[in-house]
Amino acid sequence: MNSFTYTRASGVEAAVREKTADEGVKFIAGGTNLLDLMKENVERPTRLIDLNHLPLKSIEAAPDGGLRLGALATNADTAWDEQVQQRYPLLSQAILAGASPQLRNMATNGGNLFQRTRCYYFYDLATPCNKREPGSGCSAIGGYNRIHAILGTSESCIATHPSDMCIGLAALNATVRVTGPQGERTVKFEDFHRLPEDKPELDNTLAADEIVTAIDLPNEDFSKNFSYLKLRDRQSYAFALVSVAAALQLDGNTIKEARLALGGVAHKPWRDQQAEALLKGQPATEDTFRRAAAAVVENAQGYGHNTFKIELAKRAIVRALKQAAEGTQHASDIFTNSNP
Protein backbone atom coordinates (compact mmCIF):
# COMPACT_ATOMS: atom_id res chain seq x y z
CA MET A 1 0.00 0.00 0.00
CA ASN A 2 1.38 3.39 -1.04
CA SER A 3 0.14 6.12 1.27
CA PHE A 4 -0.65 9.60 -0.03
CA THR A 5 -2.56 12.65 1.09
CA TYR A 6 -5.45 14.26 -0.77
CA THR A 7 -6.47 17.92 -0.88
CA ARG A 8 -8.67 20.12 -3.05
CA ALA A 9 -7.19 23.11 -4.85
CA SER A 10 -8.80 26.39 -3.85
CA GLY A 11 -7.62 28.23 -6.96
CA VAL A 12 -5.22 28.04 -9.91
CA GLU A 13 -2.53 30.13 -8.22
CA ALA A 14 -2.86 28.11 -5.01
CA ALA A 15 -2.49 24.86 -6.93
CA VAL A 16 0.66 26.17 -8.61
CA ARG A 17 2.14 27.21 -5.25
CA GLU A 18 1.46 23.81 -3.70
CA LYS A 19 2.93 21.98 -6.69
CA THR A 20 6.04 24.18 -6.59
CA ALA A 21 6.61 23.42 -2.91
CA ASP A 22 6.36 19.62 -3.15
CA GLU A 23 7.93 17.39 -5.83
CA GLY A 24 5.70 14.49 -4.80
CA VAL A 25 2.49 16.28 -5.79
CA LYS A 26 0.36 15.19 -8.71
CA PHE A 27 -2.70 17.03 -9.99
CA ILE A 28 -5.82 14.91 -10.47
CA ALA A 29 -9.07 15.64 -12.29
CA GLY A 30 -10.76 12.69 -14.04
CA GLY A 31 -7.93 10.38 -13.00
CA THR A 32 -8.56 8.00 -15.91
CA ASN A 33 -4.82 7.54 -16.57
CA LEU A 34 -3.19 8.54 -13.29
CA LEU A 35 -5.15 6.04 -11.19
CA ASP A 36 -4.14 3.21 -13.54
CA LEU A 37 -0.51 4.26 -13.20
CA MET A 38 -0.82 4.35 -9.42
CA LYS A 39 -2.39 0.88 -9.32
CA GLU A 40 0.55 -0.49 -11.30
CA ASN A 41 3.09 1.40 -9.13
CA VAL A 42 4.38 3.26 -12.17
CA GLU A 43 3.40 6.53 -10.47
CA ARG A 44 3.75 6.87 -6.68
CA PRO A 45 2.74 10.41 -5.70
CA THR A 46 2.86 11.39 -2.06
CA ARG A 47 0.05 13.90 -2.49
CA LEU A 48 -2.87 14.38 -4.84
CA ILE A 49 -4.34 17.82 -5.46
CA ASP A 50 -7.90 17.65 -6.81
CA LEU A 51 -8.52 20.32 -9.47
CA ASN A 52 -12.19 19.60 -10.08
CA HIS A 53 -13.49 22.59 -8.14
CA LEU A 54 -11.53 25.13 -10.19
CA PRO A 55 -13.55 27.28 -12.64
CA LEU A 56 -12.05 25.72 -15.77
CA LYS A 57 -15.00 23.78 -17.21
CA SER A 58 -16.43 26.25 -19.69
CA ILE A 59 -16.38 26.08 -23.49
CA GLU A 60 -16.66 29.61 -24.84
CA ALA A 61 -15.63 32.00 -27.59
CA ALA A 62 -11.97 33.03 -27.56
CA PRO A 63 -10.95 36.69 -28.06
CA ASP A 64 -9.67 36.00 -31.61
CA GLY A 65 -12.99 34.48 -32.70
CA GLY A 66 -11.89 30.91 -32.10
CA LEU A 67 -13.06 28.63 -29.31
CA ARG A 68 -11.62 28.17 -25.82
CA LEU A 69 -11.93 24.73 -24.23
CA GLY A 70 -11.65 24.72 -20.45
CA ALA A 71 -9.05 22.29 -19.14
CA LEU A 72 -11.60 20.68 -16.81
CA ALA A 73 -14.37 20.30 -19.38
CA THR A 74 -14.85 16.59 -19.92
CA ASN A 75 -14.05 14.88 -23.20
CA ALA A 76 -17.74 13.95 -23.54
CA ASP A 77 -18.98 17.49 -22.99
CA THR A 78 -16.43 18.76 -25.50
CA ALA A 79 -17.24 16.20 -28.19
CA TRP A 80 -20.98 16.88 -27.96
CA ASP A 81 -20.73 20.65 -27.55
CA GLU A 82 -22.74 22.37 -30.29
CA GLN A 83 -19.98 24.86 -31.13
CA VAL A 84 -17.37 22.10 -31.37
CA GLN A 85 -19.58 19.94 -33.58
CA GLN A 86 -20.44 22.80 -35.91
CA ARG A 87 -17.07 24.57 -36.13
CA TYR A 88 -14.54 21.83 -35.30
CA PRO A 89 -16.19 18.51 -36.15
CA LEU A 90 -12.77 16.90 -36.72
CA LEU A 91 -12.05 17.32 -33.00
CA SER A 92 -15.44 15.91 -32.04
CA GLN A 93 -14.84 12.83 -34.19
CA ALA A 94 -11.34 12.34 -32.78
CA ILE A 95 -12.60 12.45 -29.18
CA LEU A 96 -15.44 10.03 -29.91
CA ALA A 97 -12.92 7.60 -31.41
CA GLY A 98 -11.10 7.37 -28.07
CA ALA A 99 -11.69 5.22 -25.00
CA SER A 100 -15.25 4.33 -23.93
CA PRO A 101 -18.28 6.52 -23.15
CA GLN A 102 -17.71 5.94 -19.43
CA LEU A 103 -14.12 7.15 -19.61
CA ARG A 104 -15.01 10.12 -21.83
CA ASN A 105 -17.55 11.17 -19.19
CA MET A 106 -14.74 11.38 -16.61
CA ALA A 107 -11.64 12.34 -18.61
CA THR A 108 -10.85 16.04 -18.89
CA ASN A 109 -9.38 18.03 -21.75
CA GLY A 110 -6.34 19.03 -19.72
CA GLY A 111 -5.77 15.50 -18.47
CA ASN A 112 -5.96 14.14 -22.02
CA LEU A 113 -2.85 16.13 -22.90
CA PHE A 114 -0.91 14.41 -20.10
CA GLN A 115 -1.73 10.80 -20.97
CA ARG A 116 1.29 8.56 -20.73
CA THR A 117 2.22 5.87 -23.21
CA ARG A 118 0.54 2.47 -23.26
CA CYS A 119 3.85 0.67 -23.97
CA TYR A 120 3.78 -2.83 -22.45
CA TYR A 121 7.23 -2.40 -20.96
CA PHE A 122 6.45 0.98 -19.40
CA TYR A 123 3.75 -0.70 -17.32
CA ASP A 124 5.83 -3.80 -16.52
CA LEU A 125 8.07 -3.01 -13.54
CA ALA A 126 10.03 -6.22 -14.13
CA THR A 127 11.48 -4.92 -17.43
CA PRO A 128 13.89 -2.04 -18.17
CA CYS A 129 12.26 1.16 -19.42
CA ASN A 130 13.95 4.51 -19.93
CA LYS A 131 10.67 6.35 -19.45
CA ARG A 132 10.29 4.84 -15.98
CA GLU A 133 13.95 4.62 -15.01
CA PRO A 134 16.21 6.79 -17.20
CA GLY A 135 19.31 4.94 -18.28
CA SER A 136 17.91 1.46 -17.69
CA GLY A 137 17.33 0.70 -21.39
CA CYS A 138 14.41 0.28 -23.81
CA SER A 139 12.95 -3.22 -23.79
CA ALA A 140 10.67 -2.47 -26.75
CA ILE A 141 13.47 -1.94 -29.30
CA GLY A 142 14.54 -5.57 -29.16
CA GLY A 143 11.26 -6.92 -27.84
CA TYR A 144 7.69 -7.24 -29.03
CA ASN A 145 7.07 -3.80 -30.53
CA ARG A 146 3.98 -4.14 -32.72
CA ILE A 147 2.25 -1.06 -31.25
CA HIS A 148 5.35 1.11 -31.14
CA ALA A 149 6.60 4.17 -33.02
CA ILE A 150 8.02 4.42 -36.52
CA LEU A 151 8.64 8.19 -36.62
CA GLY A 152 10.75 10.45 -34.40
CA THR A 153 12.19 7.55 -32.43
CA SER A 154 15.53 7.41 -30.64
CA GLU A 155 17.86 4.78 -29.21
CA SER A 156 16.28 5.54 -25.84
CA CYS A 157 12.59 5.03 -26.63
CA ILE A 158 10.12 3.97 -29.32
CA ALA A 159 6.92 4.53 -27.32
CA THR A 160 3.84 6.15 -28.85
CA HIS A 161 1.48 8.84 -27.63
CA PRO A 162 -1.96 7.26 -27.02
CA SER A 163 -4.42 10.15 -27.35
CA ASP A 164 -6.99 10.56 -30.13
CA MET A 165 -8.09 14.01 -29.00
CA CYS A 166 -4.52 15.30 -29.24
CA ILE A 167 -4.25 14.22 -32.87
CA GLY A 168 -7.28 16.35 -33.69
CA LEU A 169 -5.87 19.28 -31.72
CA ALA A 170 -2.55 18.99 -33.55
CA ALA A 171 -4.25 19.05 -36.94
CA LEU A 172 -6.36 22.06 -35.93
CA ASN A 173 -3.31 24.08 -34.88
CA ALA A 174 -4.47 24.51 -31.28
CA THR A 175 -2.75 26.52 -28.56
CA VAL A 176 -2.39 25.48 -24.92
CA ARG A 177 -2.76 28.03 -22.13
CA VAL A 178 -0.74 27.32 -18.99
CA THR A 179 -0.13 29.05 -15.66
CA GLY A 180 2.97 28.77 -13.50
CA PRO A 181 4.90 30.76 -10.87
CA GLN A 182 5.86 33.30 -13.55
CA GLY A 183 2.24 33.81 -14.62
CA GLU A 184 0.32 32.76 -17.72
CA ARG A 185 1.80 31.81 -21.09
CA THR A 186 0.72 30.05 -24.27
CA VAL A 187 2.31 27.07 -25.99
CA LYS A 188 1.74 26.06 -29.61
CA PHE A 189 0.29 22.58 -29.62
CA GLU A 190 3.06 21.30 -31.87
CA ASP A 191 5.54 22.40 -29.17
CA PHE A 192 3.63 21.00 -26.19
CA HIS A 193 4.66 17.34 -26.51
CA ARG A 194 8.21 16.27 -27.23
CA LEU A 195 10.09 13.49 -29.00
CA PRO A 196 12.04 11.03 -26.80
CA GLU A 197 15.59 11.93 -27.86
CA ASP A 198 17.80 11.10 -24.85
CA LYS A 199 15.17 12.08 -22.23
CA PRO A 200 12.12 9.91 -22.91
CA GLU A 201 10.95 10.32 -19.32
CA LEU A 202 9.81 13.84 -20.32
CA ASP A 203 6.54 13.65 -22.25
CA ASN A 204 6.02 17.39 -22.71
CA THR A 205 7.78 20.73 -22.54
CA LEU A 206 5.99 22.16 -19.49
CA ALA A 207 7.79 22.94 -16.26
CA ALA A 208 6.88 20.65 -13.37
CA ASP A 209 5.07 23.49 -11.57
CA GLU A 210 2.85 24.62 -14.46
CA ILE A 211 -0.83 23.81 -14.89
CA VAL A 212 -2.93 23.75 -18.07
CA THR A 213 -5.95 26.04 -17.84
CA ALA A 214 -7.40 25.95 -21.37
CA ILE A 215 -6.94 24.93 -24.99
CA ASP A 216 -7.62 27.49 -27.72
CA LEU A 217 -8.81 26.54 -31.20
CA PRO A 218 -8.04 29.16 -33.88
CA ASN A 219 -10.63 30.96 -35.95
CA GLU A 220 -10.09 28.77 -39.03
CA ASP A 221 -12.75 26.90 -40.97
CA PHE A 222 -12.04 23.21 -41.60
CA SER A 223 -15.61 22.16 -40.87
CA LYS A 224 -16.61 20.90 -44.33
CA ASN A 225 -13.81 18.68 -45.60
CA PHE A 226 -12.30 16.60 -42.81
CA SER A 227 -11.73 13.04 -41.73
CA TYR A 228 -10.56 11.23 -38.61
CA LEU A 229 -9.55 7.68 -39.43
CA LYS A 230 -8.50 5.28 -36.68
CA LEU A 231 -7.08 1.85 -37.51
CA ARG A 232 -6.98 -0.55 -34.57
CA ASP A 233 -7.17 -4.21 -33.67
CA ARG A 234 -10.77 -4.19 -32.52
CA GLN A 235 -13.67 -1.79 -32.72
CA SER A 236 -14.20 -1.31 -29.00
CA TYR A 237 -11.82 0.44 -26.61
CA ALA A 238 -8.49 -0.05 -28.37
CA PHE A 239 -5.63 2.33 -29.04
CA ALA A 240 -4.69 3.25 -32.59
CA LEU A 241 -2.15 1.32 -34.61
CA VAL A 242 -2.33 4.31 -36.94
CA SER A 243 -4.75 7.23 -36.85
CA VAL A 244 -5.02 10.16 -39.25
CA ALA A 245 -6.61 13.57 -38.78
CA ALA A 246 -7.00 15.25 -42.16
CA ALA A 247 -8.65 18.57 -42.97
CA LEU A 248 -8.78 20.53 -46.22
CA GLN A 249 -9.98 23.88 -47.51
CA LEU A 250 -10.94 23.50 -51.16
CA ASP A 251 -11.50 25.90 -54.03
CA GLY A 252 -13.28 23.64 -56.48
CA ASN A 253 -10.88 20.72 -56.77
CA THR A 254 -7.82 22.71 -55.69
CA ILE A 255 -6.47 22.44 -52.15
CA LYS A 256 -6.16 25.93 -50.62
CA GLU A 257 -5.02 24.78 -47.17
CA ALA A 258 -4.32 21.38 -45.64
CA ARG A 259 -3.88 19.97 -42.15
CA LEU A 260 -2.48 16.50 -41.52
CA ALA A 261 -1.62 14.80 -38.22
CA LEU A 262 -1.03 11.17 -37.28
CA GLY A 263 -1.39 9.14 -34.12
CA GLY A 264 -0.02 5.75 -33.11
CA VAL A 265 3.26 6.40 -34.94
CA ALA A 266 5.35 8.62 -32.67
CA HIS A 267 6.11 9.71 -29.12
CA LYS A 268 3.97 12.81 -29.77
CA PRO A 269 1.07 13.71 -32.06
CA TRP A 270 2.79 13.78 -35.45
CA ARG A 271 1.82 16.78 -37.54
CA ASP A 272 3.65 16.92 -40.86
CA GLN A 273 3.79 20.48 -42.19
CA GLN A 274 6.04 19.41 -45.06
CA ALA A 275 3.29 17.13 -46.34
CA GLU A 276 0.75 19.92 -45.80
CA ALA A 277 2.89 22.19 -48.00
CA LEU A 278 2.99 19.52 -50.72
CA LEU A 279 -0.80 19.39 -50.72
CA LYS A 280 -1.35 23.15 -50.87
CA GLY A 281 -2.19 24.42 -54.35
CA GLN A 282 -2.49 20.91 -55.77
CA PRO A 283 -5.54 19.12 -57.16
CA ALA A 284 -7.40 16.96 -54.66
CA THR A 285 -6.57 13.70 -56.40
CA GLU A 286 -5.29 10.32 -55.29
CA ASP A 287 -1.91 10.99 -56.92
CA THR A 288 -1.52 14.14 -54.85
CA PHE A 289 -2.50 12.29 -51.70
CA ARG A 290 -0.04 9.47 -52.44
CA ARG A 291 2.84 11.95 -52.80
CA ALA A 292 1.96 13.53 -49.47
CA ALA A 293 1.70 10.12 -47.79
CA ALA A 294 5.10 9.08 -49.15
CA ALA A 295 6.61 12.28 -47.75
CA VAL A 296 5.20 11.59 -44.29
CA VAL A 297 6.82 8.16 -43.99
CA GLU A 298 10.01 9.00 -45.90
CA ASN A 299 12.13 8.74 -42.74
CA ALA A 300 10.05 6.12 -40.95
CA GLN A 301 11.86 3.21 -39.30
CA GLY A 302 10.33 -0.11 -38.37
CA TYR A 303 11.64 -2.33 -35.58
CA GLY A 304 10.43 -5.71 -36.76
CA HIS A 305 6.96 -6.35 -35.44
CA ASN A 306 5.80 -2.80 -36.22
CA THR A 307 7.34 -2.42 -39.70
CA PHE A 308 3.90 -3.01 -41.23
CA LYS A 309 2.89 0.41 -39.88
CA ILE A 310 4.89 2.19 -42.58
CA GLU A 311 2.71 0.89 -45.39
CA LEU A 312 -0.39 1.05 -43.20
CA ALA A 313 0.26 4.74 -42.47
CA LYS A 314 0.65 5.54 -46.19
CA ARG A 315 -2.64 3.86 -47.06
CA ALA A 316 -4.43 5.45 -44.10
CA ILE A 317 -3.26 8.93 -45.09
CA VAL A 318 -4.52 8.49 -48.66
CA ARG A 319 -7.86 7.15 -47.45
CA ALA A 320 -8.33 9.93 -44.88
CA LEU A 321 -7.49 12.64 -47.42
CA LYS A 322 -9.89 11.13 -49.96
CA GLN A 323 -12.66 11.10 -47.36
CA ALA A 324 -11.86 14.69 -46.45
CA ALA A 325 -11.88 15.85 -50.06
CA GLU A 326 -15.15 14.08 -50.79
CA GLY A 327 -16.78 15.23 -47.55
CA THR A 328 -17.70 11.63 -46.76
CA GLN A 329 -16.70 11.35 -43.09
CA HIS A 330 -19.16 9.16 -41.22
CA ALA A 331 -19.15 7.98 -37.63
CA SER A 332 -18.46 4.41 -38.75
CA ASP A 333 -15.29 5.50 -40.57
CA ILE A 334 -13.41 6.12 -37.33
CA PHE A 335 -14.03 2.58 -36.08
CA THR A 336 -11.97 0.61 -38.57
CA ASN A 337 -10.05 -2.41 -37.31
CA SER A 338 -6.86 -3.77 -38.79
CA ASN A 339 -5.17 -7.11 -38.24
CA PRO A 340 -1.96 -7.23 -40.28
Quick one: pLDDT at residue 328?
74
For the residues 171-200, what does the mean pLDDT come to?
Answer: 97
Looking at the domain assignment, is residue 245 inside a domain? yes
List phi, psi (to 5°) of 117.
-60, 155
Using H for helix, E for strand and C for coil, what is the string for 6-21?
Answer: EEECCCHHHHHHHHHH
For the residues 19-34, what does the mean pLDDT come to?
Answer: 94
Quick one: pLDDT at residue 329?
65
For the residues 293-302, what does the mean pLDDT come to?
Answer: 98
How many domains, the chain?
2
Pair type for strands 225-232 and 211-217: unpaired
CATH of the domain at 275: 3.30.390.50
Looking at the domain assignment, is residue 272 inside a domain? yes
Taking only the tens place, the pLDDT of each residue in 97-144 is: 999 999 999 999 999 999 999 899 999 999 999 999 999 999 999 999
For residue 276, give the amino acid letter: E
Per-residue pLDDT at 6 exceeds 50: yes
Per-residue pLDDT at 165 exceeds 70: yes
Taking only the tens place, the pLDDT of each residue in 50-76 is: 999 999 999 999 999 999 999 999 999
Looking at the domain assignment, is residue 263 inside a domain? yes
CATH of the domain at 16: 3.30.43.10
Crossing angle of the two packed helices 286-296 and 308-326, in degrees rounded to 10 = 140
Quick one: pLDDT at residue 340?
45
Per-residue pLDDT at 334 exceeds 90: no
Per-residue pLDDT at 331 exceeds 50: no
Structure letter (DSSP) for residue 332:
G
Looking at the domain assignment, is residue 47 inside a domain? yes
Owning domain of residue 9: 5-52
For the residues 3-11, what does the mean pLDDT come to?
Answer: 95
- Least confident range of 91-105, 191-205, 240-254, 322-336: 322-336
Residues forming a β-bridge with 258:
248
Q: In angstroms, what is the C-alpha Rg of the chain?
A: 19
